[in-house]
Amino acid sequence: MQTRSLTDYGEYFYFVEHNPEGSHEWKELLEHLVVNETSFFRHPPSFEALATHALPEIMRAKRDRQDHVLNIWSAACAAGQEAYSLAMTLSETLDTSLLQTRVWGTDISPRVLERARQGSYRTHEMRHLPEGFVSRYFTKTGTASVASYKVVERLQRLVVFKTVNLVGDADYPLPKQDVIFCQNVLIYFEMESRTQIVRRLCERLNRGGYLFLAPGEMLGLASTGIEPIKIGDAIIYRCTSE
């Protein structure tokens, strides 16, 4: 409102809704509203549960069906750290050359997704990576004083980034998923929206697929078609409906 020299909320709302520049203004407003806080392997117990429980279960079922497609979705991926963490977990756990593997990273912010596509991170952003992962999955670039690390090409090829609004989109434009990570997102929504988002995420899961939420985000939520499973320090949710 200060940028537009407006002092009345109704006037600003009218500008966003009806002015020819309103569509651009809305996009700019979203960029200021979204948090974009994330890191590599932000909740380690979840990635441990993915590697030791969810992926082995999913792959056993896929071998029985002779299904060679594996899709994993990082919802609200911000600058891409979670999506690349999922890709690294897959690379450490499975032979991805034998599968049609795709990690989908989505966010509401086109600006932050562009950074995710570049896959370049500063030294302080690498601090939570497991030992050996930097040398295996990143190439050091930049100068001695301002170093950066770029995701290697073989890892980037596993990840596709798209703009998705978890609340506003009528349908999520993604294929059925085997795993969905939607962590530290629901806390920003009221309970009604949280319930709606979880229901719609579950609709995008294959039967036997897994939904990963952050600790405590499911409190007070009621959703049919999923069952909670405690793996170590992580509670994940398995899809039981078609």
Q: What does the pLDDT look like over 37-53, one tens digit per residue? A: 689 999 999 999 999 99
Place of tokens 């999955």: 137
Percent of the chain with pLDDT strictly greater than 70: 93
> What integer pLDDT is reported at residue 226 of this predicted model?
83
**Domain regions of the chain by residue span:** 1-33, 36-119+153-239
Q: What does the pLDDT look like over 167-206, one tens digit per residue? A: 887 789 999 999 999 998 888 888 888 888 988 999 999 9
Q: Does residue 74 surpass a pLDDT of 90?
A: yes
In whole angstroms, give the CA distance from residue 199 to residue 109.
23
In whole angstroms, give the CA distance from residue 54 to residue 208.
9
CB 232 within 8 A of CB 43: no
**Which two three-digit tokens encode residue 188?**
């920003």
> What integer pLDDT is reported at residue 105 of this predicted model?
98
The pTM for the full model equals 0.85
Which pLDDT band holds residue 30 (cuts at 50, 70, 90)? low
In whole angstroms, give the CA distance from residue 181 to residue 77.
9
**Which two three-digit tokens encode residue 190?**
């009221």
Q: What is the largest CA-CA distance in the chain?
A: 63
Angle of CA points 123, 184, 189, to nearest 5°: 140
In whole angstroms, give the CA distance from residue 56 to residue 94.
9
Q: Which fold has domain 36-119+153-239?
A: Rossmann fold (3.40.50)
CB 78 within 8 A of CB 116: yes
Which pLDDT band holds residue 142 (cuts at 50, 70, 90)? confident
In whole angstroms, give the CA distance from residue 183 to residue 158.
21
Say what the alpha-carbon torsion angle 231, 37, 199, 55 is, to the nearest 10 degrees: -40
Q: What does the pLDDT look like over 87-131, one tens digit per residue? A: 999 999 998 888 899 999 999 999 999 999 999 999 999 988 999
